[in-house]
Amino acid sequence: MKAKTSNTVRWIHIVAAISLLIVFILYNQLQFEAVRPFQGLAMILSLITGIILAIPFIRGQWRSFQRKRNKG
């Protein structure tokens, strides 16, 4: 049950990251001239969002790595 929950959370994160990337690309394509002043801000926001989305995955990997190290 616990593994299924974490797997679902991981899929939600993957889908959210992909959809965010698609929205970011479309936003740049559609309004390139209007976005130019905000492009740096948009890049920073997407980077921060990517880091936030990656944190649970990294924590899970670190936990499994520590578990393996403690066993061996």
Q: Give pLDDT tens digits for 11-59.
A: 877 787 788 777 777 776 666 666 566 667 777 777 888 788 778 777 7
Which of 42, 55, 43 minimizes the C-alpha distance to 13? 55
Predicted confidence band of residue 1 (pLDDT cuts 50, 70, 90):
very low
Q: CB neighbours of 54 closer than 8 A, spacing ≥ 6? A: 13
pLDDT for residue 35 = 57
pLDDT for residue 48 = 82
Q: How many domains in the chain?
A: 1
d(CA 16, CA 10): 10
The parent domain of residue 8 ranges over 2-71
**Structure tokens belonging to residue 17:** 């990251």
pLDDT for residue 52 = 80
